[in-house]
Amino acid sequence: MEQSKKILELGCGIYPRPGAINVDKLDLPGVDVVWDLDKFPYPFKDEEFDEIYGQDIIEHLDDVFMVMEELYRILKLGGTIYFHTTYVKNEQSFTDPSHKHFFTLDSFDYFDNSTDLGKAYSFYTKARFKILNKYLDNNNYTNFLLKKV
């Protein structure tokens, strides 16, 4: 019997992901866990999740390296993370005053030791991922698919 995947949605807001554990710092309808994602550690066990989704959340958080290390901790080996966020050249990156970080297609290379940035700056973090896909969509948003290695 195949076990179903355990999925975490970060910062779901008013759009909780069906079948996932939905986290947000506000107690909105569909939120399963009320938690400020800038507070560590997250209230989850080591290697608990198969998939993690972060749609329009990573740019709002204080410390991207700490977040990635915490996601590395709670993600199973071989598990995946999908991020969707505004591209640095997208005006929406700067429209929202709650955005703290801006991303290019190479921003997550720091976590992948097979990239030039990952090789040069691996001392920033112990979190290691393989970039499976990164692309700029038609709406000028960056999309990343990372695998825990």
State whether residue 92 is helix, strand or coil: helix
CB 101, CB 68: distance < 8 Å? no
| 20-33 per-residue burial string, b: 16 or more CB within 10 A, e: under 16 | bbbbbbeeeeebee
Q: What is the pLDDT of residue 117?
A: 97
Question: Peptide bond before 41: cis, by omega within 30 degrees of 0?
Answer: yes
Token pair of 32 as six digits: 């399963």
Domains recognised in the chain with CATH numbers: 7-148 (3.40.50.150)
CB 20, CB 49: distance < 8 Å? no
Average pLDDT over residues 11-37: 97
The predicted model scores a pTM of 0.94
- The predicted-structure confidence for 77-136, as pLDDT tens digits, reads as follows 999 999 999 999 888 889 999 999 999 999 999 999 999 999 999 899 999 999 999 999
Average pLDDT over residues 31-56: 98
Q: What's the first-to-final CA gap in the chain, in angstroms?
A: 26
pLDDT band at 1 (very low <50, low <70, confident <90, very high): low
